[in-house]
Homo-oligomer: A and B are copies of this chain.
Protein backbone atom coordinates (compact mmCIF):
# COMPACT_ATOMS: atom_id res chain seq x y z
CA UNK A 1 0.00 0.00 0.00
CA UNK A 2 1.05 3.61 -0.48
CA UNK A 3 2.11 5.23 2.75
CA UNK A 4 2.12 8.93 3.66
CA UNK A 5 4.92 9.91 5.95
CA UNK A 6 6.22 13.21 7.25
CA UNK A 7 8.92 14.78 5.13
CA UNK A 8 12.16 14.87 7.03
CA UNK A 9 13.71 18.09 8.28
CA UNK A 10 15.91 15.93 10.54
CA UNK A 11 19.72 15.89 10.28
CA UNK A 12 19.68 12.26 9.14
CA UNK A 13 18.03 10.17 7.98
CA UNK A 14 16.89 12.54 5.26
CA UNK A 15 14.51 12.63 2.31
CA UNK A 16 15.88 10.31 -0.35
CA UNK A 17 17.31 11.53 -3.62
CA UNK A 18 15.13 10.22 -6.49
CA UNK A 19 18.10 8.21 -7.79
CA UNK A 20 18.27 6.39 -4.44
CA UNK A 21 14.59 5.57 -4.43
CA UNK A 22 14.84 4.32 -7.99
CA UNK A 23 17.80 2.08 -7.15
CA UNK A 24 15.73 0.43 -4.41
CA UNK A 25 13.03 -0.69 -6.84
CA UNK A 26 15.34 -2.91 -8.90
CA UNK A 27 15.42 -6.71 -8.69
CA UNK A 28 17.83 -8.14 -6.12
CA UNK A 29 21.42 -7.94 -7.37
CA UNK A 30 23.92 -10.63 -6.37
CA UNK A 31 26.91 -9.02 -4.67
CA UNK A 32 29.34 -11.44 -6.36
CA UNK A 33 28.23 -10.42 -9.86
CA UNK A 34 30.33 -8.31 -12.23
CA UNK A 35 27.65 -5.61 -12.03
CA UNK A 36 28.05 -5.45 -8.23
CA UNK A 37 31.85 -5.35 -8.55
CA UNK A 38 31.52 -2.36 -10.87
CA UNK A 39 29.31 -0.61 -8.33
CA UNK A 40 31.76 -1.25 -5.50
CA UNK A 41 34.73 -0.05 -7.54
CA UNK A 42 32.87 2.96 -8.89
CA UNK A 43 31.54 4.00 -5.51
CA UNK A 44 34.93 3.66 -3.81
CA UNK A 45 36.62 5.75 -6.48
CA UNK A 46 33.96 8.45 -6.30
CA UNK A 47 34.09 8.57 -2.51
CA UNK A 48 37.86 9.04 -2.47
CA UNK A 49 37.70 11.71 -5.18
CA UNK A 50 34.97 13.64 -3.36
CA UNK A 51 37.34 14.10 -0.41
CA UNK A 52 40.23 14.92 -2.77
CA UNK A 53 42.10 11.90 -1.43
CA UNK A 54 44.81 9.80 -3.06
CA UNK A 55 44.00 7.21 -0.40
CA UNK A 56 41.15 4.74 -0.41
CA UNK A 57 37.55 4.53 0.71
CA UNK A 58 36.23 1.37 2.35
CA UNK A 59 32.55 0.39 2.53
CA UNK A 60 31.12 -1.23 5.64
CA UNK A 61 27.66 -2.68 6.16
CA UNK A 62 26.43 -0.80 9.23
CA UNK A 63 25.86 2.71 10.56
CA UNK A 64 28.41 5.51 10.71
CA UNK A 65 29.26 4.33 14.22
CA UNK A 66 30.50 1.03 12.77
CA UNK A 67 32.99 2.98 10.66
CA UNK A 68 34.03 5.12 13.64
CA UNK A 69 34.87 2.00 15.64
CA UNK A 70 36.53 0.24 12.71
CA UNK A 71 38.85 3.18 12.07
CA UNK A 72 39.80 3.57 15.73
CA UNK A 73 40.64 -0.12 16.07
CA UNK A 74 42.48 -0.22 12.75
CA UNK A 75 44.69 2.80 13.43
CA UNK A 76 45.42 2.83 17.15
CA UNK A 77 46.80 0.30 19.58
CA UNK A 78 45.46 -0.10 23.10
CA UNK A 79 46.85 2.58 25.44
CA UNK A 80 47.28 5.06 22.58
CA UNK A 81 46.72 8.63 23.75
CA UNK A 82 44.25 10.35 21.42
CA UNK A 83 42.89 13.84 21.86
CA UNK A 84 39.09 14.02 21.82
CA UNK A 85 37.68 17.52 22.17
CA UNK A 86 34.11 17.08 23.40
CA UNK A 87 31.40 19.65 22.70
CA UNK A 88 28.51 17.40 21.73
CA UNK A 89 27.06 13.91 21.63
CA UNK A 90 29.04 12.61 18.68
CA UNK A 91 32.36 13.66 20.20
CA UNK A 92 31.27 11.76 23.32
CA UNK A 93 30.77 8.76 21.06
CA UNK A 94 34.43 8.98 20.00
CA UNK A 95 35.37 8.84 23.69
CA UNK A 96 33.18 5.78 24.31
CA UNK A 97 34.56 3.99 21.24
CA UNK A 98 38.15 4.84 22.17
CA UNK A 99 37.66 3.54 25.72
CA UNK A 100 35.96 0.36 24.50
CA UNK A 101 39.02 -0.24 22.29
CA UNK A 102 41.40 0.25 25.24
CA UNK A 103 42.77 3.63 24.14
CA UNK A 104 43.49 6.43 26.57
CA UNK A 105 41.45 9.33 25.25
CA UNK A 106 42.71 12.74 26.31
CA UNK A 107 39.37 14.46 26.67
CA UNK A 108 38.94 18.22 26.72
CA UNK A 109 35.44 19.44 27.59
CA UNK A 110 33.91 22.45 25.87
CA UNK A 111 30.49 24.06 26.09
CA UNK A 112 27.93 22.42 23.80
CA UNK A 113 27.41 25.02 21.11
CA UNK A 114 31.01 26.24 21.10
CA UNK A 115 33.54 25.46 18.38
CA UNK A 116 36.79 23.86 19.51
CA UNK A 117 39.98 25.72 18.61
CA UNK A 118 43.61 24.73 18.07
CA UNK A 119 44.56 26.26 21.44
CA UNK A 120 42.36 23.64 23.14
CA UNK A 121 44.89 20.88 22.40
CA UNK A 122 45.88 19.56 25.84
CA UNK A 123 49.53 19.33 26.83
CA UNK A 124 51.47 16.07 26.79
CA UNK A 125 52.22 13.20 24.45
CA UNK A 126 49.64 12.56 21.78
CA UNK A 127 49.33 9.63 19.34
CA UNK A 128 46.34 10.92 17.46
CA UNK A 129 43.10 12.86 17.54
CA UNK A 130 39.46 11.94 17.07
CA UNK A 131 37.69 15.04 15.81
CA UNK A 132 34.11 15.86 14.95
CA UNK A 133 33.59 18.02 11.87
CA UNK A 134 29.89 18.80 11.89
CA UNK A 135 28.64 18.12 15.44
CA UNK A 136 25.07 17.12 14.65
CA UNK A 137 23.89 17.47 18.24
CA UNK A 138 24.68 21.20 18.35
CA UNK A 139 24.80 22.33 14.73
CA UNK A 140 28.42 23.43 15.14
CA UNK A 141 31.06 22.99 12.43
CA UNK A 142 34.43 22.51 14.11
CA UNK A 143 37.53 23.87 12.32
CA UNK A 144 39.10 20.44 11.78
CA UNK A 145 41.75 21.80 9.44
CA UNK A 146 43.25 24.07 12.09
CA UNK A 147 42.78 21.42 14.78
CA UNK A 148 44.70 18.95 12.63
CA UNK A 149 47.45 21.49 12.09
CA UNK A 150 47.82 21.94 15.86
CA UNK A 151 48.00 18.17 16.39
CA UNK A 152 50.60 17.73 13.66
CA UNK A 153 52.69 20.61 14.92
CA UNK A 154 52.86 18.86 18.29
CA UNK A 155 53.24 15.31 17.00
CA UNK A 156 53.98 14.90 13.29
CA UNK A 157 53.30 11.14 13.43
CA UNK A 158 49.94 11.48 15.17
CA UNK A 159 46.98 10.29 13.10
CA UNK A 160 44.04 12.65 12.80
CA UNK A 161 40.63 11.04 12.31
CA UNK A 162 37.50 13.01 11.50
CA UNK A 163 33.83 12.21 11.99
CA UNK A 164 32.44 13.56 8.72
CA UNK A 165 29.08 11.89 9.17
CA UNK A 166 27.03 15.02 8.51
CA UNK A 167 29.69 17.12 6.80
CA UNK A 168 30.48 14.80 3.86
CA UNK A 169 28.98 16.38 0.72
CA UNK A 170 27.55 19.23 2.79
CA UNK A 171 30.61 21.19 3.95
CA UNK A 172 34.00 21.73 2.37
CA UNK A 173 36.35 18.93 3.40
CA UNK A 174 39.59 17.52 2.01
CA UNK A 175 41.64 14.74 3.43
CA UNK A 176 45.42 14.99 2.93
CA UNK A 177 45.63 18.70 2.09
CA UNK A 178 43.82 19.45 5.35
CA UNK A 179 46.19 17.24 7.33
CA UNK A 180 43.58 14.57 7.95
CA UNK A 181 44.45 10.87 7.90
CA UNK A 182 41.03 9.27 8.03
CA UNK A 183 37.35 10.16 7.93
CA UNK A 184 34.05 8.37 8.31
CA UNK A 185 30.51 8.98 7.14
CA UNK A 186 27.30 7.14 6.36
CA UNK A 187 24.76 6.75 3.58
CA UNK A 188 21.76 8.47 5.21
CA UNK A 189 23.13 12.00 5.47
CA UNK A 190 24.56 14.15 2.67
CA UNK A 191 24.37 11.20 0.27
CA UNK A 192 20.56 11.29 0.56
CA UNK A 193 20.31 7.49 0.62
CA UNK A 194 18.85 4.95 3.06
CA UNK A 195 20.79 4.16 6.24
CA UNK A 196 22.81 0.96 6.41
CA UNK A 197 26.10 1.68 4.64
CA UNK A 198 29.11 3.33 6.27
CA UNK A 199 32.20 4.79 4.63
CA UNK A 200 35.74 4.97 5.96
CA UNK A 201 38.40 6.98 4.17
CA UNK A 202 42.05 6.20 4.70
CA UNK A 203 44.67 8.65 3.47
CA UNK A 204 48.04 7.19 2.41
CA UNK A 205 49.55 7.63 5.89
CA UNK A 206 46.66 5.74 7.45
CA UNK A 207 46.86 3.00 4.82
CA UNK A 208 50.49 2.43 5.77
CA UNK A 209 49.64 2.04 9.42
CA UNK A 210 46.53 -0.11 9.12
CA UNK A 211 46.50 -3.13 11.41
CA UNK A 212 44.11 -6.09 11.48
CA UNK A 213 41.62 -5.84 14.30
CA UNK A 214 38.53 -7.87 15.12
CA UNK A 215 36.61 -9.58 12.36
CA UNK A 216 33.47 -7.98 10.92
CA UNK A 217 34.78 -4.44 11.38
CA UNK A 218 38.34 -5.29 10.29
CA UNK A 219 39.21 -2.60 7.74
CA UNK A 220 42.31 -4.43 6.54
CA UNK A 221 40.22 -7.47 5.62
CA UNK A 222 37.67 -5.27 3.86
CA UNK A 223 40.32 -3.31 2.05
CA UNK A 224 41.91 -6.47 0.66
CA UNK A 225 38.54 -7.66 -0.65
CA UNK A 226 37.42 -4.28 -1.94
CA UNK A 227 40.60 -3.78 -3.93
CA UNK A 228 39.27 -6.75 -5.96
CA UNK A 229 35.80 -5.21 -6.35
CA UNK A 230 34.51 -7.61 -3.70
CA UNK A 231 33.48 -7.15 -0.09
CA UNK A 232 34.62 -9.43 2.74
CA UNK A 233 30.99 -10.14 3.73
CA UNK A 234 27.60 -9.74 2.10
CA UNK A 235 27.17 -5.97 1.71
CA UNK A 236 23.84 -4.07 1.79
CA UNK A 237 24.03 -4.03 -1.98
CA UNK A 238 20.82 -2.03 -2.53
CA UNK A 239 22.33 0.79 -0.49
CA UNK A 240 25.66 0.51 -2.29
CA UNK A 241 23.73 0.96 -5.52
CA UNK A 242 21.63 3.81 -4.13
CA UNK A 243 24.66 5.82 -3.00
CA UNK A 244 26.52 5.05 -6.22
CA UNK A 245 23.61 6.27 -8.30
CA UNK A 246 23.06 9.40 -6.21
CA UNK A 247 26.71 10.42 -6.48
CA UNK A 248 26.59 9.88 -10.24
CA UNK A 249 23.31 11.76 -10.67
CA UNK A 250 23.95 14.66 -8.31
CA UNK A 251 27.67 15.27 -8.86
CA UNK A 252 28.54 13.75 -12.23
CA UNK A 253 31.81 15.72 -12.33
CA UNK A 254 32.67 14.69 -8.78
CA UNK A 255 34.43 17.35 -6.78
CA UNK A 256 34.02 19.97 -9.48
CA UNK A 257 30.28 19.93 -8.81
CA UNK A 258 30.59 20.14 -5.05
CA UNK A 259 31.39 23.81 -4.44
CA UNK A 260 28.06 24.85 -5.85
CA UNK A 261 26.28 22.22 -3.76
CA UNK A 262 28.01 23.37 -0.56
CA UNK A 263 26.82 26.90 -1.30
CA UNK A 264 23.26 25.69 -1.86
CA UNK A 265 23.21 23.76 1.41
CA UNK A 266 24.83 26.59 3.36
CA UNK A 267 22.28 29.03 1.97
CA UNK A 268 19.40 26.65 2.75
CA UNK A 269 20.55 26.38 6.36
CA UNK A 270 21.23 30.11 6.64
CA UNK A 271 17.64 30.76 5.67
CA UNK A 272 16.45 28.75 8.67
CA UNK A 273 18.71 30.89 10.85
CA UNK A 274 17.37 34.03 9.19
CA UNK A 275 13.80 32.92 9.91
CA UNK A 276 14.83 32.12 13.46
CA UNK A 277 16.35 35.59 13.88
CA UNK A 278 13.10 37.19 12.69
CA UNK A 279 11.28 35.17 15.34
CA UNK A 280 13.78 36.01 18.07
CA UNK A 281 15.03 32.42 18.41
CA UNK A 282 18.42 31.82 20.02
CA UNK A 283 20.76 29.66 17.92
CA UNK A 284 22.66 26.85 19.65
CA UNK A 285 26.00 27.60 17.94
CA UNK A 286 27.52 30.37 19.99
CA UNK A 287 28.98 32.19 17.00
CA UNK A 288 27.65 32.65 13.47
CA UNK A 289 30.94 31.43 11.94
CA UNK A 290 30.55 28.16 13.85
CA UNK A 291 27.26 27.18 12.19
CA UNK A 292 27.30 23.90 10.32
CA UNK A 293 25.56 23.86 6.93
CA UNK A 294 24.17 20.42 7.86
CA UNK A 295 21.72 21.48 10.53
CA UNK A 296 20.30 24.57 12.19
CA UNK A 297 19.80 24.28 15.93
CA UNK A 298 17.79 26.62 18.15
CA UNK A 299 16.91 26.76 21.82
CA UNK A 300 13.22 26.11 22.35
CA UNK A 301 11.41 29.40 22.77
CA UNK A 302 9.64 29.99 26.08
CA UNK A 303 6.34 28.18 26.28
CA UNK A 304 7.27 25.32 23.96
CA UNK A 305 8.08 21.78 24.95
CA UNK A 306 9.97 19.59 22.56
CA UNK A 307 6.93 17.36 22.17
CA UNK A 308 4.58 20.26 21.43
CA UNK A 309 6.94 21.67 18.82
CA UNK A 310 7.36 18.29 17.14
CA UNK A 311 3.60 17.87 17.09
CA UNK A 312 3.11 21.32 15.58
CA UNK A 313 5.55 20.52 12.77
CA UNK A 314 4.00 17.07 12.34
CA UNK A 315 0.60 18.67 11.78
CA UNK A 316 2.11 20.39 8.78
CA UNK A 317 3.72 17.20 7.50
CA UNK A 318 7.27 17.68 8.78
CA UNK A 319 9.48 15.83 11.18
CA UNK A 320 12.05 17.86 13.13
CA UNK A 321 14.65 16.70 15.65
CA UNK A 322 14.89 17.48 19.35
CA UNK A 323 18.02 17.73 21.46
CA UNK A 324 20.36 15.04 22.73
CA UNK A 325 22.26 14.58 26.00
CA UNK A 326 22.25 17.75 28.12
CA UNK A 327 20.34 19.57 25.37
CA UNK A 328 17.46 17.09 25.39
CA UNK A 329 14.22 18.97 25.89
CA UNK A 330 16.01 22.31 25.49
CA UNK A 331 16.62 22.67 21.75
CA UNK A 332 15.24 21.67 18.36
CA UNK A 333 17.00 21.08 15.08
CA UNK A 334 16.02 21.38 11.43
CA UNK A 335 18.08 20.37 8.44
CA UNK A 336 18.02 20.89 4.69
CA UNK A 337 20.61 18.13 4.17
CA UNK A 338 18.23 15.83 2.30
CA UNK A 339 16.56 16.09 -1.06
CA UNK A 340 14.11 18.96 -1.47
CA UNK A 341 12.53 20.63 -4.44
CA UNK A 342 12.76 24.40 -4.31
CA UNK A 343 9.01 24.65 -3.68
CA UNK A 344 9.21 22.14 -0.87
CA UNK A 345 11.96 24.09 0.88
CA UNK A 346 9.95 27.29 0.58
CA UNK A 347 7.07 25.48 2.20
CA UNK A 348 9.43 24.32 4.96
CA UNK A 349 10.56 27.89 5.68
CA UNK A 350 7.02 29.17 5.68
CA UNK A 351 5.81 26.40 7.96
CA UNK A 352 8.79 27.06 10.25
CA UNK A 353 7.67 30.66 10.60
CA UNK A 354 4.02 29.75 10.92
CA UNK A 355 4.65 27.23 13.69
CA UNK A 356 7.02 29.41 15.68
CA UNK A 357 5.21 32.71 15.20
CA UNK A 358 2.77 31.41 17.80
CA UNK A 359 5.53 31.62 20.41
Q: Which positions in A face B, CB cutoff 8 Å? A: 1, 3-8, 10, 12-16, 21-22, 24-31, 33, 35, 61-66, 69, 96-97, 100-101, 186, 188, 194-197, 214-218, 233-239, 319, 338
Shortest Cβ distance from A148 into chain B, in angstroms?
A: 24
User: Using Cβ atoms and an 8 Å threshold, which residues of chain B touch A33?
Assistant: 6, 319
Given contacts A27-B3, A96-B215, A216-B62, contact A195 B12 (CB under 8 A): no
Interface centre among A25, A69, A96, A195 (most CB of B within 10 A): A195
Q: Are B239 and A236 in contact (CB under 8 A)?
A: yes
Give, as a whole number of angstroms, the nearest-CB distance from A328 to chain B. Answer: 12
- Separation of A10 and B31 alpha carbons in the complex (Å): 11
Chain B residue numbers with a CB within 8 Å of A29 are 5, 13
Given the complex, which residues of B lie within 8 Å of A28, measured CB to CB? 5, 8, 13-16, 188, 194, 338
Nearest B residue to A3 by beta-carbon distance?
Answer: B26
Main secondary structure of the interface of A (DSSP, over half): loop
* A195 and B234 within 8 A (CB): yes
B residues within 8 A CB of A24? 24-25, 238
Verify A188–B234 contact, CB threshold 8 A: yes
Contact A186 B236 (CB under 8 A): no
Task: Assess the B100–A215 pair: CB atoms within 8 A.
Answer: yes
**Chain B, Cβ-Cβ closest to A66:** B216
**Interchain CB contact under 8 A, A238 and B31:** no
Out of B6, B69, B234, name the residue touching A13 (CB < 8 Å).
B234
* Nearest CB on B from A230, distance (A): 13
Q: Which 3 A-B pairs have the closest CB atoms?
A: A196-B236, A24-B24, A63-B233
Q: Is the CB of A31 within 8 A of B195?
A: yes
Contact indicator B30/A25 (Cβ below 8 Å):
no
On whether the beta carbons of B27 and A236 are closer than 8 Å, the reply is no
Are A62 and B69 also in contact (CB < 8 A) when A194-B237, A237-B194 are? no
From A194, A214, A236, name the one whose CB has the most chain B CB atoms within 10 angstroms: A236
Contacts of A194 in B (CB 8 A): 28, 236-238
Which residues on the B side are within 8 Å of A15 (C-beta)?
Answer: 27-28
Within the complex, the shortest CB–CB distance from A106 to chain B, in Å, comes to 19
Q: Which residues of B contact A27 (CB under 8 A)?
A: 3-5, 7, 15-16
Report the nearest B residue to A232, measured CB to CB: B65
Report how far A63 CA is from B188 CA in the complex, Å.
Answer: 18
Give the distance in Å from the alpha carbon of A233 to the alpha carbon of B31 in the complex: 25
Is A13 touching B237 in the complex (CB atoms < 8 A)? yes
A215 x B26 contact (CB < 8 A): no
Contact B66–A61 (Cβ < 8 Å): yes
